[in-house]
Amino acid sequence: MTLRLVAKRQQGDDYQVEIRGADFSHYDPNDRSVVTSIQMKPPAYPEAAYSVGAAGSAYLVLKVGRDGRVADAAVEQVNLRVVASERQMQQLRDVLGKSALGAARKWTFRPPSEGKDVDAPYWTVRVPVDYALLDQSRQGAPSAYGRWMSYIPGPRQRAPWITGEHATGFSPDLLPAGGVYMADGAGPRLLTPLQGG
């Protein structure tokens, strides 16, 4: 389970803390009922981002064909861990998103071999791609358990082939890097709305 807690400074040393997101996704590379990775070579760090010390995370949505290859891909959201002008941040989001998409188009996956989705014409998965400089890797990396992380969330865009609704409180940036997550919305869900959401 992943929770997003947002702390806002109030007066003095007081903070207001809210639960803003929750997700129950889990990646098990041995699960034969879901799409799992075969080959996912990480993208090269884009020079335009590296040269200015920019870090962030690109959240991809991939349509995986029955042959295990990426049939279509979209950038759902790019969060940055650097503050700049709106124009510069959009340029950095574009650079990180294009870099992640370029790598993803070459990835291969193992389609489900059992379970309810085995005969689907394709599968939709979400894959987070993290861009962190060496000295930043331990300073609030998204998968760093129990650590606060400052970031600027990017706009969220829907992949054209996704028609279903998202679970209450879901956001792609709740998914930890290093996994492949089915985008079918199956699994546990919150029954009540979150505090701030």
Cβ contact 167:189 at 8 Å: yes
pLDDT value of position 35: 95
SS3 94: helix
**CA 124 to CA 35: how far, in whole Å?**
9
For residue 70, give the nearest of 104, 120, 100 by alpha carbon. 104
pLDDT value of position 137: 46
pLDDT value of position 162: 82
Domains of the chain: 28-182 (3.30.2420.10)
- List the beta strands (DSSP E) in 81-121: 108-110
pLDDT value of position 185: 65
Scan for tokens 């992380």, then name that residue: 149
**CA 100 to CA 4: how far, in whole Å?**
24
**Structure tokens, 36:** 């799992």
Query: What does each of the 197 residues of the chain score in pLDDT, given as a tens digit?
Result: 677 777 788 999 898 888 777 777 778 889 999 999 999 999 999 999 999 999 999 999 999 999 999 999 999 999 999 999 999 999 999 999 999 999 999 999 999 999 998 999 999 999 999 999 875 444 444 455 666 778 899 999 988 888 766 655 578 888 888 889 998 766 666 777 665 54
Residues 6+ apart with CB under 8 A from 20: 4, 5, 6, 169, 194, 195, 196, 197
| Torsion of the alpha carbons at 44, 145, 171 and 150, rounded to the nearest 10 | -70
**CA 28 to CA 36: how far, in whole Å?**
8
- Per DSSP, 193 falls in state -
pLDDT value of position 169: 56
